[in-house]
Amino acid sequence: MVEFTFTKDGRALRGGAICFTELLTVSGLPLWDVKELIYWYAAKDTFPTATQVMEHMWSTLRINPDWAARYRQTVLAQSRIASQSAQQISDIIAGTFGNIDTVASELRRRRGNATLGLIDVSAPDGEKFKVDNLASYYWLSSDRTIIGTNTSVPPCQNCQELLKQP
C-alpha cells in the first residue's frame, strides 16, 4: 500500500493506493501484470477508518480460479479475433492498393499505345508483341515474322493468328 497527502479545494486530504497484480509466464519469462489499481482518499482525521475498510476488502477478496481461467481464455479469444481482424483489414488495404496499381499500369499501357499508334498482340504460346495498329488482323509466320492484314484469311501456311489485347 502507498499513502499520500494532497490539498483539494483548500482541504488537506490523505489518500492510499493498492494494486491487484498477476504473475504471468510468457515464453518462460516471469511478467507481473497490474490488473487493478485502487485508490481512496479522505479527510486526514477519517483516513484511518477509510484505510481499515479498504484493508478489510483487500484481505477478504477471493478470486474463483475457475472463473479466472475462463476469463483468461476469453481474453485470449478476443485477442485472436482482434489480431485476425487487423490482418484481414491489412490484406484488404494491400489488395486495394494492388488493384489501383494494376489499373494505373493498364491505363499507362493503353495511353502509351494510343499515343504511339501501337497495339499489343499475343501468340498462342503467350508471347506478347507490340505492333503498329494499322491492320485488322496480325499473324505470326513460322520464321517469327509478324504480318498485318485487313482480312481474316491467313497470309501464309502455318501462320498463327495473334490475339489483340484490349
DSSP 165: P
Give the residue carrying C-alpha cell 494494486. 19
Instruction: Give the long-range contacts of residues 38-46, CB within 8 A, separation 24 or more.
Output: 39/15, 40/15, 40/16, 41/6, 41/13, 41/14, 41/15, 41/16, 42/13, 42/14, 42/15, 43/11, 43/12, 43/13, 43/14, 44/5, 44/12, 44/13, 44/14
Q: What is the pLDDT of residue 31?
A: 84
Q: Which helix (H) or strand (E) holds 160?
A: strand 160-164
Q: What is the pLDDT of residue 147?
A: 94
Give the residue carrying C-alpha cell 484469311. 153
Q: Which helix (H) or strand (E) holds 19?
A: strand 11-26
Q: What is the pLDDT of residue 97?
A: 79
Q: What is the pLDDT of residue 106?
A: 87
Question: For 85-122, how does the pLDDT look when each residue is reduced to its tens digit (9 = 90+)?
Answer: 989 998 888 888 778 888 888 899 889 888 999 999 99
Tell me the HSE value of 56 on the side-chain side, using a 13 A CA sphere. Answer: 6
What residue spans define the domains of the chain?
A: 2-61, 64-116, 118-164
d(CA 33, CA 70): 17
Q: What is the pLDDT of residue 13?
A: 96
Q: What is the pLDDT of residue 62?
A: 86
* Parts of the chain with a pLDDT under 50: none
**Cα distance from N-terminal residue to C-terminal residue, the chain:** 76
